[in-house]
Structure 1
Amino acid sequence: MTNAYAGDANDNEIFIAQSGDNVELTIQQIGAGNKYGGDDFTGTSIDMTMTISNSYLDLKQDGDYNKMFGTIVTTGSTINNFTVGNYNIWNQKIGVANDADTLTIDSAITGNTNTVILRAGNADDVYNISTPLWNQSNAEQFWTVSGSTWSRTNSGQTAYWGTWDPTEGTADTLDMDLDVTGSDNTLNVFFNSDNATWNWDVTGSNNWIQTSMEDGSDNRQTVGVTGDYNFVFVGQNTGSTTGVTNNAILDATFATTHSDINIIQSDAN
């Protein structure tokens, strides 16, 4: 069921509660100040909740200051998620309670000063959320995590995880692509998955990118960053056993100057 509410000529909201299989849903919001799911314009929490399987979602927001929130529980589905504009927010949880398997996500963001927080197989609202403090004269300090608490330290390359306290749910056999074109964007994308494929490409400067793949084996990540003064943090934790190879694969291409790039791969040993 879909209900649309208009606060004024520019501010529109969509609230959705959907359950069932083989659903085809297309949403396009054009203009500034629109939103679906999550906190409404008064600050009241009204989440978009969708529990579906083998479905197709085509979601697009075109304009500035738009918000995309919600919780999706799905297996065997395809999600196309596109944002065009500036100062937009995309904050979603996909796969609460172990349901985000065999999922394909194709996303693209074009614009500046946008914020993405996406958790697939990861239900913790506070886990891994970063605060971008980059400027062009001081490099970021290195991030470490203890439990679900992130902190920054000057120890640089010697810093490492105290513990991996991974996430809730799973997103096995996830296949996600994200292309970002623009500057001053903040990206936080986290997976808890086996056999996942995560391809992302960022073109622009002064972007903050933090992503991790945890609690699984055979995760593959392809990374491309073009632009200057970017902060990049990539973590892969495989949970592999002795003698197992190729549990975490990272293929990265960086064309950048004055950037801070941190990569950590960890396994059970």
Structure 2
Amino acid sequence: MNKYFKGILASVFVMSSFAWAGASDDNEINIDQSGDTLTLYIDQVGYGNKIGLDDFSSSSSATPITGSSLTFNIDQLGNENLLFGSLTADQSTYNMLFTGDANSWDWNIGETGSADSTTIDVDITGDTNTMNFDQGAVASAERLDLDLTVLGSSNVFDVDVETDDVTWSWDLTGSSNNINTLQNDGFYQEMTVTYDGDGGDIDINQLSGTCPTGITSCKGIITLDVTSDNATIQINQKDTSNDS
């Protein structure tokens, strides 16, 4: 091999190393929003992108978004992308698309104020992605329609919903996925699960907790359609606010 060709290979290796290192701190969009009837479209394509408040040099803080009648359409296409957010919004719709591996989505809706009439539609294609979603943990939240469609393996999802009148549907195709979900403290909780894959670990907690004023009986419905070998599924359905 001549020296010229060796030099080309060395240059390619160095450039590839820089490109890989940059995947964890590439492009970022920082949002601090207050107001109503915002329509937001975001497309991020590539590796290591982020939607959040701070930069990549420190631990991430959430993006503060407040308002009502918000419409978000967010697409992140690539690997190792991050989406962090804290939202306080009524009558809002969020459409999310994630394509790639090792992406992370962490949203908290209704932590500091009302979050009523929320519609969320999420599509995830890829492996080893993480999702941490919370709604209504502190402030009032009513009427959530949450749909999750996943095609991939070894994903980890943690979904906690403390909201009245919830329709929570998820359709997972892939192996070795880990799902932990909680529906708590609300009237009329409905969950529909379609799982097609081997070796999954699924924990479902559906707890009526405290019924709203004037309601004497809180009901929950869970519907499962499972095609799997070696999966482990645990369901806790209780008239209580304790999940264990």
**TM-score, length-normalised on structure 2?**
0.84
CA distance in 2, matches of 1:39, 1:265: 39
Distance 1:65 1:101 in 2: 31
Go from structure 1 to structure 2 and tell me whether the alpha carbon gap of 1:215 and 1:240 turns closer, same or farther (over 3 Å shift): closer
Note the 1:18-97 alignment, pairs <5 A. 18-37=33-52, 40-97=55-112
Distance 1:266 1:48, change over 3 A: same
SS in 2 for 1:21: coil
What residue ranges of structure 1 are gaps of 5+ in the alignment?
Answer: 1-6, 123-167
- 21-30 or 38-47: bigger deviation: 38-47
**CA distances 1:138-173 after superposition (whole Å, capped 9, x unpaired):** xxxxxxxxxxxxxxxxxxxxxxxxxxxxxx223311
Q: Which residue of 1 aligns with 2:224?
A: 252
Cα offset for 1:81? Answer: 1.2
More helix by share: 2
Give the partner amino acid of 2:239. D
What's 2:12 paired with? Answer: none
Contact preservation (8 Å) 2:181, 2:204: yes
Equivalent residue, structure 2, for 1:218:
188
- Tell me how far apart the structure 1 counterparts of residues 218 and 194 of structure 2 sit (CA, whole Å): 20
Give a deviation string over 1:183-222, Cα, whole Å, max 9, x none.
0100001100111110111110011000010011111111
Over aligned residue pairs, what C-alpha RMSD do you find? 2.1
AA partner of residue 49 (structure 1): P
Contact 2:170 2:192 in 1 (8 A): yes
Q: Distance in 2 between matches of 1:233 and 1:46?
A: 28
Question: For residues 236 and 220 of structure 1, do their structure 2 counterparts lie closer, same or farther at Cα, with a shift above 3 Å needed?
Answer: same
- Is the contact between residue 194 and residue 226 of structure 2 (CA under 8 Å) also seen in structure 1? yes
Contact (CA 8 Å) 2:79, 2:100: kept in 1 or not? yes
Counterpart secondary structure, 2:47: coil
- Percent identity over the alignment is 38
TM-score by length of 1: 0.76
8 Å contact kept, 1:215–1:239: yes
Larger Rg: 2
Which structure 1 residue ranges, 4+ long, deviate > 3 Å from structure 2? Answer: 7-10, 243-246
Larger RCO, structures 1/2 (Cα 8 Å, 6+ apart)? 1
Partner of 2:7: none
Higher mean alpha-carbon deviation, 77-86 vs 246-255, is at 246-255
Distance change >3 Å, CA 256–CA 91, structure 1 → 2: same
**Cα deviation code 1:46-104 (max 9, x no counterpart):** 43111010111101100001001011111001011111100100011111134211110
Alignment of 1:76-155 (within 5 A): 76-122=91-137
